[in-house]
Amino acid sequence: MDSLLKSLNLEDRDSIDKEGSIVMENTLKKSGKIFILLFIILILNTFPASPILAFEKAFRNSLGMEFVLIPAGTFIIGSPPGEPYRNKDELQHQVTFSEPFYIQATEVTLEQWRALMGRKLFGRRKGAGNMPVVKVSWHDCMDFIRKLNALSEWSYRLPTEAEWEYACRAGCSTAYSWGNTIDCGMAMYSNNSLKSKECLDYIRSRELTIDQPAPVKSYPPNAWGLYDMHGNVWEWCQNWYGDYAINAKIDPLGPDSGTMRVRRGGSWFLYGYSCRSANRNCSHPSSRYQTTGFRLVGKKVPDQIYSEEGR
């Protein structure tokens, strides 16, 4: 080997040295990359990646109840001082929802109620399956929720008042989710042959029944795909009724105690202004009205915030 190197001129030997250095350098680079790759694999196996929560835009449970994903965000709850028919308990303040949530696209229907609660021989609920269930107290809603949660599919509850208004508004700040005025083609209201007749002719033209709510999805949904947030039936909310706070809130749950539970949305029974997004109403939790039903919020992870009977 030494004789071979001696026979080469200086230029050839320099060339061999350079090529050897290049080969060695490339080898080290490859070894370094392999080491880094093995190190990354070791770290990933040692510290599992945190789960990434993926939210579907909508889902349907085994009872056929449809739920729509409502995005996290911030809005102003309540109504401005100049809004017609505004009540003094609609004090505006900022509310933020830190996480998205699912809310039912319609009111709970008679079909869904019967599927879970059965049919009673006495006091049976009459009507087509796609009608909203009514004459349910807040406590009746809790019974329904307990049985639904026992199926262990999802975790369900009533919406808070703030969640309800946020979902109702669907990103708007007007009196209704479509604007500042209401008409008979946008919601079911004034369907009362004795006390409020404004929409009777329109309702008859639609071949809907006088003096009662309409089947769910009879009127257009709001921008987030929710039906009957304005009118048709009042809807029970989770929390107690009480005065609003004036400061900004994050994921508010409402008052810690009270005597009346919140109802929202207005109904078929009386006037359109009661269907405003900000309009507040309340009743004793044992009350059962032909104008009142409910819809639910659903969550994939068991919801530990609320006790069985709510706050």
Instruction: Give CA–CA dist 231/187, Å, rounded.
Output: 6
Helix H or strand E segment including 237: strand 234-240
Instruction: Give CA–CA dist 265/276, Å, rounded.
Output: 7
- Collapsing DSSP to helix, strand or coil, 66 comes out as strand
Instruction: Give me the pLDDT at residue 33, please.
Output: 52
pTM beyond 0.85, yes or no: no
Judge whether 91 and 244 are in contact, CB under 8 Å.
yes
- Collapsing DSSP to helix, strand or coil, 264 comes out as strand
Tens of each residue's pLDDT in the chain, 311 residues? 444 344 434 444 444 444 444 444 554 355 555 555 455 444 444 433 333 346 789 999 999 999 999 999 999 999 999 999 999 999 999 999 999 999 999 999 999 999 999 987 555 678 899 999 999 999 999 999 999 999 988 999 999 999 999 999 999 999 999 999 999 999 999 999 999 999 999 999 999 999 999 999 999 999 999 999 999 999 999 999 999 988 999 999 999 999 999 999 999 999 999 999 999 999 999 999 999 999 999 987 544 444 445 55
At 80, phi and psi to the nearest 5?
-70, 155
Instruction: Give CA–CA dist 175/275, Å, rounded.
Output: 9
Instruction: Give me the pLDDT at residue 28, please.
Output: 39
Instruction: Give CA–CA dist 307/311, Å, rounded.
Output: 7
Instruction: Give me the pLDDT at residue 308, please.
Output: 42
Judge whether 111 and 125 are in contact, CB under 8 Å.
no
Closest by CA to 90, choosing from 281, 280, 282, 283, is 280
Q: Where are the domains of the chain?
A: 2-46, 60-299
Instruction: Give me the pLDDT at residue 126, please.
Output: 81
Q: Which tokens sit at 86?
A: 């505004």
Q: Characterize 71-101 residue by residue with b for buried, 16 or more Cβ atoms within 10 angstroms of its Cβ, and e for exposed.
A: eeeebbbbbeeebeebeebbeeeebebeeeb
- Can you state the angle between helices 138-149 and 110-117, rounded to 10 degrees? 60
Instruction: Give me the pLDDT at residue 36, please.
Output: 53
Instruction: Give me the pLDDT at residue 23, please.
Output: 41
- Fold designation for 60-299: paralog of FGE (formylglycine-generating enzyme) (3.90.1580)
Helix H or strand E segment including 39: helix 10-46
At 4, phi and psi to the nearest 5?
-70, -40
Q: Which tokens sit at 190?
A: 């004034």
Instruction: Give me the pLDDT at residue 117, please.
Output: 95
Instruction: Give me the pLDDT at residue 280, please.
Output: 98
DSSP conformational letter for 128: -
